[in-house]
Amino acid sequence: MTFGDFQAVKDTSFDLPKGKFLTILGPSGSGKTTLLRLIAGFEKPTVGEIFINGQPVNAVPPYKRAIGMVFQKLALFPHMTAAENVAFPLKMRRHDARNIGKQVERYLELVKLGGYGTRRIHELSGGQQQRVAIARALVFEPDLLLLDEPLAALDVKLREEMQLEFRRIQKELGVTTINVTHDQREALVVSDEIIIMNDGAIQQKAQPVRAYRAPENPFVAHFIGVTNFIEAVAVSANGSTVTLTCKGRELVGVLAAGSAGLAQAARCTCAIRAEQVRIAPSQDRLGKLETQVRGQVNDAIFEGERIVYEIKVAELGDVLMKVFDHDPVGHLQFGPGDIVHLGWNAKDLHVFAK
Amino acid sequence: MRTYRVAYPLTWRAMDVLEAFVAFVWPPSFRAAVPYLFLLPALILVGLLVLGLIQIADTSMRVLDRDTFLLSDAYSLDNYRRALTEPFFATIAGRSIIGSLIVTVITLVFAFPYAYLMVRTSSSALRKFLLVALFLPFFIGQVVRAYGWLIILGNQGIVNDILGHAGIPTLRLLYNYPAVLFGLVQYMLPFAVLMLAPALTAIPEELEAAAGSLGASWLKTFRHVVLPLARPGLVGAGLVVMTLSLTDFAIPAMLGGGSQDFIANAIYDQFFRTSDQGLGATLSLLLVAVGSLLVGVVFTAFGAGTLAMGGRRK
Ligand SMILES: Nc1ncnc2c1ncn2[C@@H]1O[C@H](COP(=O)(O)OP(=O)(O)O)[C@@H](O)[C@H]1O
Ligand SMILES: [Mg+2]
């Protein structure tokens, strides 16, 4: 999809089985909204074809596609009540007028807004407006539900509550759903499947656990979770196990799925999650962790349930590593300047070819 | 203290002096009166208008003595009786009111798509073109524009020229009712577009997309979403167009050629042709009354809030 000569969505091809909850995860400006607008039919693809229920739909106008969409800014009709908003798609689709009232009431109940039907939109709270928007998008039993970051504007507590709501409603109705977000937590929590997008292109498509545990490229590793990157050069490979060297130090890691066939002396990017690095005051406390390095504490950030240490590791070229400590002793164990020992297992070090 | 004050720029110190001066003439305890102070010029202007109206009301009750051409000293309602019963005035009033209603409807119908396109188009070149085309007539003025129509629509005008080449006999395009209405619509269009554009800008484009995804065709989206939300703009634009055309003078005078007088032309005649200031004043007051009545009816029908003055709309 191009705007002028700008390609907002590039080579993007995926399919989605019925009843699944797919999340498209990507930073702002990565083309998520454009992709949804293409699927909904508000934009025409410059090249390519979109199929819904096996039917090509490029020539079908939005109002003839059975797609419910919840917009980034909700787009509720301000001149109608909550119930009138929910009834709108039924009226437009010429449903039997005698059943509309019942259907609207049923869906308002579903989103836990029974009894709020007569309220005007501006008389509802942010979370309630959210629910009206969902009911309106679902009431006509669409083939596909599209969610364009509708939770982005809510505060954290409400957002987490609504994420679970989305999941509950989606499971209850079994409606095929594409959700778009830049919130990695949301993607992991609600989805059956995640597509990570950047610059209008798909970076990886995987189930949440795999997307987190087995990122296929540095972008995915960087975008989901807190990840440390180490530049290294490959020495030898044995199956997917790779031996590398960084500033003369030997590292062992696992080749990522997207980086098959590593050449000798190839430059690589290695990634390790902050929570997979153990931190200890002395080497003997690290036990049998396969890779162990020495570092100096640069900063210690108290985040409540965990402490984030920033450790400068001289052996690896002064790289700054983030390490989580889930505060087992109830106070900051280390302060800036302390010498600490870090350790991790080889299977947790993801190796990406450059 | 003096040592660091030197470091401040001169403009700052000028501002200090100014503030001290303002505090002296207008002490902070007077602050609450400031908004009313700003209101004063407007109040004076409106007040003058009311004084003028009282003067006109006084004149309207004096009858012209046809022998001396002086107004009577005694008050009477004779002028009102004439204005309300003589068929001549009824014709003019009917022509003006019906004309202004027709002009309002046609203007809104033309202005809406224009404003909509101007607001919604993604091409900034087109938007600029539409804006310039909108403002151009303002630079020309009403009389010159009416004169332009005389040139274009006259018996020897461009339109009849072209028709002549096509073998169609010369048409009388001027000095009739349609010509006046046409001129008024053309004159009012920019006002209506200018009043509609902000109202349409206030409707998020996403609402229309939403209506589409919910199953509303373009026409239904227009009918159920755009039109209701544009109502404040439509009512405002309609009021302006209606009152301006009801009271217009130049277009009926020039494009009607004396045969299509509106109320303002009749008033002019009374004041400056027959010198019957009493009757002229009466007609003026009746025009004010009719205009106010129309505005009042619109307000009660749609509520004053429709002019986006209620502030209830979010
Ligand atoms: N109508 C448009 N005209 C031109 N560029 C657009 C338009 N819509 C989106 N873009 C561009 O396409 C890119 C992707 O936008 P979008 O799909 O809104 O991203 P996201 O929703 O992931 O934040 C952005 O760089 C944006 O500037
Ligand atoms: Mg977006």
Whether A220 is in the pocket of ligand 1, judged by its Cβ within 6 Å, is no
pLDDT tens per residue, range A153-168? 888 888 898 888 888 9
pLDDT, tens digit, 9 for 90 and up, residues A46-100:
888 899 888 899 899 999 999 999 998 899 999 999 999 999 999 999 888 899 9
Distances (CA, A) of A144 to A34, A65, A178, A271: 17, 9, 8, 36
- Give the residue extent of every domain in chain A: 2-216, 226-353
Termini Cα distance of chain A: 28
Cα B260 to Cα B187: distance, rounded to the nearest angstrom? 17
Sign of the Cα torsion A118, A123, A128, A129 reads positive
Residues A198 and A26: beta-carbon distance below 8 Å: yes
Please tell me chain B's helix, strand, coil percentages from 3-state DSSP, rounded to the nearest 5: 75, 0, 20
Residue B252 is encoded by which pair of tokens? 């009926």
Ligand 1 atom showing the smallest separation from residue A3 Cα: 4
* Residue whose tokens read 């669409």: A142
A136 in reach of chain B (CB within 8 A)? yes
Nearest CA to A120 out of A111, A129, A112 is that of A129
Which atom of ligand 1 sits closest to the CA of residue A31?
A: 17
**What is the whole-number distance in angstroms between the Cα of residue A280 and the centre of ligand 2?**
43
What is d(CA A321, CA A305) in angstroms, rounded to the nearest whole number? 19
pLDDT tens per residue, range A97-144: 899 999 999 999 999 999 999 999 999 998 899 999 999 999 999 999
Assigned CATH for A226-353: 2.40.50.100
Closest CA to B148 of B186, B197, B110, B199: B186
- pLDDT band of residue A330 (cuts 50, 70, 90) is low
- The yes or no reply on domain A2-216 and CATH 3.40.50.11810 is no
Host H or E run for residue B145: helix B142-153
Instruction: Provide the β-strand partners of residue A308.
Output: A301, A324
Q: Are A190 and A34 in contact (CB under 8 A)?
A: no
**What is the spatial order of strands in the sheet that A291-302 belongs to?**
A278-280, A339-344, A291-302, A307-313, A319-325
B245 C-alpha to ligand 1 centroid (Å): 45
| Cα-based torsion angle of the residue sequence B279, B284, B286, B291 in order, rounded to the nearest 10 degrees | 170
Query: Which residues face A241 on adjacent strands?
Result: A238, A254
User: What pLDDT score was predicted for residue B312?
Assistant: 43
For residue A107, give the 3-state DSSP assignment. helix
B287 touches chain A (CB under 8 A): no
A302: Cβ below 6 Å to ligand 1? no
Strand, coil or helix: A327 = coil
**Letter for the amino acid at B167?**
G
Report pLDDT for B4. 59
A266-314 pLDDT tens trace: 889 999 999 999 999 888 888 888 999 999 999 999 888 889 999 999 9
- Please tell me the distance between residue A6's alpha carbon and the centre of ligand 1 in angstroms: 9
| Helix, coil or strand: residue A5 | coil
pLDDT truncated to tens, each residue of chain B (314 aa)?
Answer: 555 556 788 899 899 999 999 888 888 888 888 888 899 999 999 999 999 999 999 999 999 888 888 888 889 999 999 999 999 999 999 999 999 999 999 999 999 999 999 999 989 999 999 999 988 888 888 889 889 999 999 888 888 889 888 888 888 889 999 999 999 999 999 999 999 999 999 999 999 999 999 999 999 999 999 999 999 899 999 999 999 999 999 999 999 988 999 999 999 999 999 889 999 999 999 999 999 998 899 888 886 555 544 444 43
Confidence of residue A145 (pLDDT cuts 50, 70, 90): very high
Q: Is residue B90 within 8 Å of B223, Cβ to Cβ?
A: no
Q: Which ligand is nearest to the CA of A24?
A: 1
Atom 16 in ligand 1: which residue has the minimum CA distance?
A31
B212 interfaces chain A, CB cutoff of 8 Å = yes
- Model ipTM? 0.80
What residues in A contact B214, CB-CB < 8 Å? 63, 68, 88-89, 92, 136-137, 140
Q: Does A3 touch chain B (CB under 8 A)?
A: no
What pLDDT score does B23 carry? 87
Look at residue A207 and give its three-state secondary structure: coil
CATH number of B77-308: 1.10.3720.10
Q: What is the distance of C-alpha A130 from the center of its chain?
A: 20
Write down the residue that tokens 């164990």 correspond to: A333
Say what the pLDDT of residue B310 is.
42
Q: Where are the domains of chain B?
A: 1-60, 77-308
CA distances from A244 to A228, A257, A275 (A): 16, 17, 22
Q: Which of B207, B217, B220 is facing A75, going by the closest CB pair?
A: B207
Element (H, E) at A69: strand A67-70
- pLDDT-derived band of residue A7, with 50, 70 and 90 as boundaries? confident
Closest Cα to residue B264, out of B291, B241, B239? B291
In the sheet that holds A193-198, the strands lie side by side as A67-70, A144-148, A176-181, A21-25, A193-198, A201-206
Please state, in angstroms and rounded to a whole number, the distance separating the CA atoms of residues A56 and A243.
Answer: 48
- Give which of B214, B219, B220 to mutate to test A binding, by max A Cβ within 10 Å: B214
Give the separation between CA B32 and CA B54, rounded to whole angstroms: 33
Q: Say if CB A197 and CB A290 are below 8 A apart.
A: no
Alpha helices in chain A (DSSP H): 32-40, 82-92, 97-110, 126-138, 156-173, 184-190, 208-213, 218-223
